[in-house]
Structure 1
Amino acid sequence: MKIAVIDAQGAGLGKTVIKKIRKEIGLNIHITALGTNPTATSNMLKAGANHGLTGENSICNFCNTNSLDSIIGPIGIICSGGIKGEITSSISQSVFNLNCTKYIIPMQKHGIYIPGTINLKIKNIIEEIVSDIKKNIEKLS
């Protein structure tokens, strides 16, 4: 199974997601870290991603030329100008156009509020994502 985790800034969320996948699923899954900047990519690689790509051109090229089972990231990845401007319109369009499951983590940031998510904890959301990935792996087996 091939997944990508995309994040910006220091990739705190991306790191957490990758660590949880590695802990719960192990090495049987190929994770590509897509960072908008070198710090984000480096932090996700340290968390256990197999390889990483940095910057708009690399992220867009990867999304446009690779087949993935899923991509995971905060809600800002589908918004032009999201994550304090680090998500360009090209990145958000490339992510949106991927033909895979998109696990979008609702954050109470970026000026976007999703009703019903205010009491959700990021930890629980990540656990639900990892659980769904496990189910998808079982289906492929």
Structure 2
Amino acid sequence: MRIAVIDGQGGGIGKAVVSKLRQAFEDSIEIVALGTNSLATSLMLKSGANEGATGENAIVYNVSRVDFIVGPVAIVCANSLLGELTPLMAKAIAESPAKKVLIPLNRCNLTVAGVETKPLPHYIDDAIEIVKAQRGDCCV
């Protein structure tokens, strides 16, 4: 199973997601770190991603080659992450056949209705549990 973790800006969310995925699945999965910038990619690689790539083309190319995409909900919104996420990236992520597990952060003028307010680490734990639960639905 291949999981793409997408993040930008400082890479803190991606770093935490990669670390928790690696802890939950150990070496039974392949994690692809896709950063909108080199800092985000580097932090995700240091946290245990198998491979990483940076920038628009890397994200557009790789999102159709994974089983899951995990990242903040902003990754499907053009010009989010302070403009780091381009419209082409958002389109490619949204249209990817991969299952998307999006972490609901109320930033970028985006509020997700019906989402319980809780700390970011709890949302990341929820995302890992969703991947675990849906793992059998896509591949082994």
Q: Normalising by structure 2, report the TM-score.
A: 0.91
| Contact 1:2-1:69 within 8 A present in 2 as well | yes
Q: Which residue of 2 aligns with 1:81?
A: 79
Q: Which residue of 2 aligns with 1:122?
A: 120
Q: Which residue of 2 aligns with 1:15?
A: 15
1:134 matched to 2:132:
yes
Q: How far apart, in 2, do the equivalents of 1:63 and 1:69 lie?
A: 9
Q: Which residue of 1 aligns with 2:63?
A: 63
Q: How far apart, in 1, do the equivalents of 2:72 and 2:130 lie?
A: 17
Deviates more, 1:114-123 or 1:21-30: 114-123
| Contact 1:108-1:118 within 8 A present in 2 as well | no
Shift of 1:118: 5.0
Shift of 1:138: 5.2
Q: Which runs of 5+ in 2 are unaligned?
A: none
Q: Which runs of 5+ in 1 are unaligned?
A: none
Q: Which residue of 1 aligns with 2:111?
A: 113
Shift of 1:119: 1.4
Shift of 1:10: 1.3
Percent of aligned pairs with the same amino acid = 37
The one-letter amino acid paired with 1:22 is: R
Q: Which residue of 2 aligns with 1:46?
A: 46
Counterparts in 2 of 1:23 and 1:93: CA distance versus 1, 3 Å: same
What is the CA RMSD across the aligned residues, in angstroms? Answer: 1.6
Q: How far apart, in 2, do the equivalents of 1:7 and 1:55 lie?
A: 11
Structure 1 ranges of 4+ moved more than 6 A: none
Q: Normalising by structure 1, report the TM-score.
A: 0.91
The one-letter amino acid paired with 2:14 is: G
